[in-house]
Amino acid sequence: MSRVAAKLSCTKEQEKALGKLARSRSEQARLVERAKIVLACLSGKRNDQVAAEMNLRPNTVGIWRNRFATQGLAGLRDQARSGKPATYDHPALRQRILAQLEMPPPAGMSTWDGGLLAVSLSVSTDVVWRILRKEGIQLQRHRSWCVSTDPEFSAKSADVIGLYLNPPHNALVLSIDEKPSIQAIERTCGYVHTSSGKIVRAMKSTYKRHGTLNLFAALQVATGQIQGKITATKKRVDFQAFLDDVIAEQPKEREIHIILDNLSTHKGNADWLAANPNVTLHFTPTSASWLNQIEIWFGILQRKALRGASFESIDKLTQAIKDFTAAYNKNAAPFVWRKREAKGAQLRNTIVNLCN
């Protein structure tokens, strides 16, 4: 005697959810297929008809028809599985890995990595990496930062940050610095298809140098607008000439505050300041050039216009910088400035005291 297929019925909400799942391009393929099976069954088709249309086995269609009939939409999801029993005791292995990281690496090695840990502990490389990822330990990723030892750090940084957050009324606040020795390098660039099937950007290893140039740049803190000047040298006379250009269109009585780092070129400009009494220079603390917002823009310039580019001459490089600056200024906006800090006042030479 032939078996009778389970009768199906659903609410409007369930039917809508099934339709959405069947059309989804982001859900798992097996869930999309199961939703299509159920919708076909709800339309009155027999299991063998649905199986023939979808190139499936009739008992597969029967399984998901019955699951939906008894459990609804939840029945289309995979049931929890116990999985293979754990080979390692996770808490104990975690402690062994952390303890091993405190030991000197093998002779000839500067640091531990997952493979070395696995060999030293006689365990699988996969389980070592799994525990390291769970603990958030990244053995090969490095971070560096400057800790200013300037005895006047608090006063100087408060002065600079105060200009960012609460500038004097009607005053112009500028962040100024130079990016020296930008190289005009000519090299073949393009894209390659790698053996892994990925398409990546590529640069030929050989190149030609066509000289260098220096870029002075000023950021208007309130608007994000950039004004730049390209020079062959970066002497004090070049710096003062750039300052003249920056303030040329400003009213003589307007108060101007300029944030600078401690480069020697930026100091010893008493004669220029005497001729421009409306200008005040503010210096960041030593080893704290990150307080100068123009450094953020230099990073953007490097990533978007210089890195991976090819320049046949100094003139081509000059034009590229001018074009990028003009394009940037069309949508310029003030920076929401912040400093990312590392946890802990001092470097830790162990991992255990960070993980426990």
The answer on 190 and 112 residing in a single domain is no
Q: What is the pLDDT of residue 195?
A: 87
Residue 200 to residues 47, 194, 304: CA-CA distances in angstroms? 47, 7, 17
The verdict on residue 301 lying in a domain is yes
Provide φ and ψ at 66, rounded to 5°: -65, -40
The verdict on residue 81 lying in a domain is no
Q: What is the pLDDT of residue 1?
A: 38
The verdict on residue 183 lying in a domain is yes
Q: What is the pLDDT of residue 7?
A: 85
Grouping H, G, I as helix, E, B as strand and the rest as coil, residue 5 is: coil
Q: What is the pLDDT of residue 90?
A: 76
Q: Work out the percent of the chain whose per-residue pLDDT is above 70.
A: 92
Residue 313 and residue 184 in contact, taking contact as beta carbons nearer than 8 Å = yes
The overall average pLDDT reported for the chain is 87
The answer on 235 and 121 residing in a single domain is no
CA atoms of 172 and 162, how far apart (whole Å): 13
- Output the 3-class SS for 206-221: CCEEEEEEEEEEEEEC
The model's pTM: 0.62
Nearest alpha-carbon partner for 42 in 4, 8, 5, 76: 8
Full domain range(s) for residue 69:
12-76
Q: What is the pLDDT of residue 22?
A: 92
CA atoms of 348 and 329, how far apart (whole Å): 43
The answer on 116 and 58 residing in a single domain is no
The answer on 298 and 261 residing in a single domain is yes
Q: pLDDT in tens for each of the 356 residues of the chain?
A: 356 788 888 899 999 999 999 999 999 999 999 999 999 999 989 999 999 999 999 999 999 999 999 999 989 988 877 777 766 677 888 999 989 998 998 888 888 989 999 999 999 999 999 999 988 888 888 776 667 788 888 888 888 988 998 889 889 999 999 999 999 988 888 888 888 888 988 888 888 998 899 999 999 999 999 999 999 988 999 999 999 999 998 888 899 999 999 888 998 899 999 999 999 999 999 888 888 999 999 999 999 999 888 899 999 999 999 999 999 999 999 988 666 655 545 555 566 556 65
The answer on 131 and 17 residing in a single domain is no
The verdict on residue 140 lying in a domain is no
The verdict on residue 148 lying in a domain is no
CA atoms of 69 and 90, how far apart (whole Å): 40
Burial class (CB in 10 A: 0-12, 13-18, 19+), 258: buried
Task: Give me 185's structure tokens.
Answer: 């390098």
DSSP tally for the chain: helices H, then strands E: 13, 7
Q: What is the pLDDT of residue 38?
A: 93
CA atoms of 3 and 62, how far apart (whole Å): 11
Write the CATH number for 38: 1.10.10
The verdict on residue 172 lying in a domain is yes
Start-to-end Cα distance in the chain: 66
Nearest alpha-carbon partner for 226 in 246, 212, 211: 246
Number of domain units in the chain? 3
Nearest alpha-carbon partner for 118 in 97, 134, 102: 97
The answer on 244 and 127 residing in a single domain is no
Q: What is the pLDDT of residue 353?
A: 58
Q: What is the pLDDT of residue 178?
A: 94
The verdict on residue 249 lying in a domain is yes
Write the CATH number for 223: 3.30.420.10
The answer on 110 and 41 residing in a single domain is no
Nearest alpha-carbon partner for 138 in 105, 112, 175: 112
CA atoms of 39 and 65, how far apart (whole Å): 10
Residue 319 to residues 190, 246, 313: CA-CA distances in angstroms? 21, 20, 10
Task: Give me 138's structure tokens.
Answer: 């990244």
Task: Give me 214's structure tokens.
Answer: 């220096």
What is the DSSP secondary structure assignment for residue 27, as one 8-state letter? Answer: S
Sheet arrangement for strand 279-283: 226-231, 208-220, 172-186, 256-260, 279-283
The total number of residues shown for the chain amounts to 356
The answer on 71 and 107 residing in a single domain is no
Provide φ and ψ at 189, rounded to 5°: -125, 155
CA atoms of 102 and 18, how far apart (whole Å): 54
Q: Are strands 256-260 and 279-283 parallel, antiparallel or unpaired?
A: parallel
The answer on 217 and 98 residing in a single domain is no
Residue 12 to residues 19, 50, 68: CA-CA distances in angstroms? 11, 22, 15
Rounded to the nearest 10°, the torsion over CA 299, 305, 309, 315 is: -120
Residue 116 and residue 122 in contact, taking contact as beta carbons nearer than 8 Å = no
Residue 176 and residue 220 in contact, taking contact as beta carbons nearer than 8 Å = no
The answer on 299 and 209 residing in a single domain is yes
Provide φ and ψ at 82, rounded to 5°: -70, -30
